[in-house]
Copies of this chain bind each other. A is one copy, B any other.
């Protein structure tokens, strides 16, 4: 049986700020080390070794100590903690969130297999956000200092890291676009379509999936209130675009939903 990070006793969402070295502790007491191997990982085509040869991927393996399990609701790291590892999500999913000095919080991202956690910590050597598992999950810790060293003698690794960072910037700009000039329905539609696309890239169905996050998390991510998200979803349901029960979501008419993303499905007026 593998060691796991204990589920902190606070509720899944309102968790404020416990320990700090939970991850290190978890690694330390692993009994049967889980050997991480990019070479054999199901999502290596989406992750850091994207486009690498077998040899190159094998070199990357040397960076990764051991996989770490994170229980649903537990934090992988908190804002302010020093950067030691980036984390590749191997299995499961996470949300990252930011809390401003006055206590208002915002979900800045939902991450799934192949995504890299901790990129925003590189700038200050401290994590800028907190990462919380949305389900029982597994990550590959990547020592950042060793990653930088290896990248120096390994151009394609460096290039991939650059692209990963840049892609996050592009994604954030798209998010700003959504926050800055789209209404509630358009935001929720964009969210549903975006999730669908991410599931497809991971080999899952485009049409049916399980939302791992609460309505509140979705609302925060989209700059809305949870009631507003509920109402947008209900509207799409009434229009026959989706059906759902709680977090079980099915997309009935993907093209129509995609059309909702822009101009609420109305033809551009020309």
Residues of A within 8 A of B (CB): 98, 100-106, 108, 119-124, 128-129, 148-149, 151-153, 155, 158-159, 161-170, 172-177, 179-182, 220, 222-223, 262-263, 268
Given contact pairs A169-B119, A169-B123, A162 touches B148 in the complex (Cβ within 8 A): yes
B268 touches A104 (CB 8 A): no
Contacts of A119 in B (CB 8 A): 166, 169
Q: How far is the CB of A178 from chain B (nearest CB, A)?
A: 9
Rounded to whole Å, the gap between the CB of A53 and the closest CB of chain B is 18
Task: Give the docked Cα–Cα distance between A124 and B167 (Å).
Answer: 8
- B108, B122, B169: the one contacting A176 at CB < 8 Å is B108
Mostly, the A contact residues are helix
Taken together, the copies of this chain in the complex come to: 2
CA distance in complex: A158, B161 (Å): 11
Give the distance to chain B from A117, nearest Cβ to Cβ, in Å: 12
Contact sample, A vs B, 14 pairs, CB 8 Å cutoff: A98-B173, A98-B176, A120-B170, A122-B162, A128-B170, A148-B155, A151-B158, A165-B165, A172-B172, A172-B173, A172-B175, A179-B180, A179-B223, A181-B223
Residues on B with beta carbons closer than 8 Å to the beta carbon of A152 = 152-153, 155, 158
Residues of B within 8 A of A121 (CB): 166
Specify which of B100, B159, B169 is in contact with A165 (CB 8 Å cutoff): B169
Q: How far is the CB of A101 from chain B (nearest CB, A)?
A: 7
Residues of B near A106 (CB, < 8 A) are: 176-177, 180-181
